[in-house]
Amino acid sequence: MTTATIIIDTWDNYHPGHDWLTAPMQKIMLRISEAIYNCESPVVLSAYQTDLPEPNLKFPWKKPNHTVLHRVEQCPNHIISWDYQEVKTFLQENNVTHIRYMGFSVPGCILNRELGYINMSKQYKCSIVADCVLNLFTTHYYEENIIHDTYKFLYTSGFPLEFSEYIKNKDSQSG
């Protein structure tokens, strides 16, 4: 079994009004970066609607977050794409049978993007790395409440969960 990591929508910028989520997002991006550093399996960085040719008010982001992007680029086996067919080909070439998810937002993009959990779980075993995702749909202001909302959603959803500190051991065992 080969496991791949898909990181969804860790952009360089977010819609106005998300400023109060900046600190928890930065912390999760550092956690993702650390998890990827320890990861020995294929990595997909999928930040939708990036590299658009013109400024766009609907999509204020321009590229993936620099911290996560830099770390992914250091991985020997990675792809940076949000194109479904290109990523599917990459996963097939790497004999991937399991996908773990990191990024923003759960619920939302991680579940519902074309490369997200719901669509990909039809073909792959999937899990979510609980300490490498964040609920951007929260209505809370304080960081501890935002994280509580994230874990509450994950716990009550029934999705298979992993934690970043165990990733390297699992990758080494999965071959």
The predicted model scores a pTM of: 0.87
Reported as a single tens digit per residue, the pLDDT across 54-64 is 666 666 667 77
| Average pLDDT value for residue range 132-149 | 84
Higher pLDDT, 149 or 140: 149
∠ CA 146-120-69 to the nearest 5 degrees?
Answer: 60
* pLDDT of 168: 67
Question: Could you tell me the domains of the chain?
Answer: 2-174 (3.40.50.850)
Are the beta carbons of 91 and 4 closer than 8 angstroms?
yes
* Segment holding 156, helix H or strand E: helix 143-157
